[in-house]
Chains A and B, each alone.
Chain A
Amino acid sequence: MKKELKLKVNGQPYELYIKPKTLLVQVLRDHVGLTGTKRGCNDSSCGACTIMLNGMAVKSCSILALQANGCEVVTVEGLAKGNKLSPLQRAFLDHGSYQCGFCTPGMLMSSTALLAENPKPTKEEIKEGIDGNICRCTGYNSIIRAVTAVVKGEYKEAK
């Protein structure tokens, strides 16, 4: 028996009919068609599926889509404003904070949520902010450098 799900993804309202056991990550990828959000495990331990739910970083494989009913979701596709990349996206580019790129959407969402909540995190707080996200390529330090550069104000929000 399918159920109705209403949510906003990157500002766009959606009305969907889904099986109740569908996970939020499946709705985003398979129903909404936003494949930027990745999935690297099934037990919310890798962080590749991290999105923002009402402003908070959430692993979208860890909740049922119906639990997000009426919520606002931001995915990696929602970070850029038109053709302007967000400060974190630009910082990631400059610092080489990605390699294979599979963890990158989750890393960006965790970092974005962190800075939304705490615009001036210490290095240790940045590390904590991304500790739920595994990156097998970069060794994290380039990601930490990118976030630090944004914290220092080296990347302004594009007008």
Chain B
Amino acid sequence: MSAPVSAIREPLITGSKTYHQITEDLVSPTEKAPGLSWIIAFSVAAALATFGVFCIAWTIWFGIGSWHLNRTIGWGWDITNFVWWIGIGHAGTLISAILLLFRQKWRTGVNRAAEAMTIFAVLCAALFPGIHVGRAWVVFYFFPYPNTRGPLWPNFNSPLLWDLFAISTYFTVSLLFWYTGLVPDFATVRDRARGIRKKIYHFLSFGWNGSAKHWQRWESISLVLAGLATPLVLSVHTIVSFDFATSVIPGWHTTIFPPYFVAGAIFSGFAMVLTLMLITRKILKLEDYITLAHIESMNKVILVTGTIVGVAYLTELFIAWYSGYVYEQFAFFNRALGPYWWSYFGMMFCNVISPQFFWSRKIRRNIVWTFFLSIVVNIGMWFERFVIIATTLARDYLPSSWSFYKPSWVEIGIFTGTIGIFFVLYLLFVRVAPVVAIAEVKSILKSSGDQYSGANAHHHHEEAVSTDNH
């Protein structure tokens, strides 16, 4: 049944696994007591998250004046963090949806964790618009519902409202896609469990029993959800970029923003997937499922998207000069040589220069390098959003309102708090759910297991079939 696979294609599952061994390897982390490294990581993340919640409460109590935002710079770290987190989420959908449509088998090793990352990142992102409006207790005014205030409706022509719809849709669809993928694996956990664990996983697995008809529908729905999620993920960061591009601020009002934001989102998202997966595979001992082949593939995506982002930066500079429009020219001059010059050069170094190391196959397959560069890329993409937002706002049309902005401890605390929330959720996820999609990995075993394909294949698969024929 397995499709013919080229002999030179690298195996995606090493260690000559059997189906049972796959179950054993991937379910056992949820069955054991957490190790010391998990407890330490969880405590640090929980501490950051707690301080973040405290800072959010502080913001709601005292108002967003506590962030050092001012009349000129109305968007600071808050929206920078929002765009950064949303961008990180995009890689999860790219892996689970776009790579499914392209039938890329290596996605099976990382899609579950990447989708979880998407959901947690979108949660962290959604926090920022919610609190940055100031009066967080009336934030439900965003939603169009028949109300007693007129009824007064939100402005459907506003990109900020489009953003609300884009992000809530994105979160919902990602959650449905992720959970539907998890159901068969929860059933696997359930069928090995006893007592209260069995009851919990029985509830979570929705009664899945592996019926062939259910699998057929499951594959059908996965494919259509992937088909829906693909334009959705492109639309989400396009709409996020509209928040800027539809304004009249020089440096924001550019048509290059949608593709450039989407490429940047995928770029930063893959970096975050790599950061997470390199740690996860080490701690949960998943080296047989997340192989160097997986890491290399992701590094290639980083190289391509990083280069697209670099081309976009240079195009922006060229167009600013070529337009002959002094305000646009000044905006870019100010980005590179103005008060925030260090963030512009940080961005250029981290996003354009650092991924170029991945032209080397040795570096693409080197775990230490990959880990280091993935963090550099994440820092760079944060700088990019900061450059676009704060640098541009600091120098607008009217020199008398030029200003400078430094975040307060509250704003920094909220940012580190979202990192804490993100890791708390991720660490809980690795404890309760299989981090690698068990059923999907089993389904590629016979085409991508190292005993069936690649240099060390020893064709015991034909032997097994012929002995059954006697």
Physical interaction between A and B: no
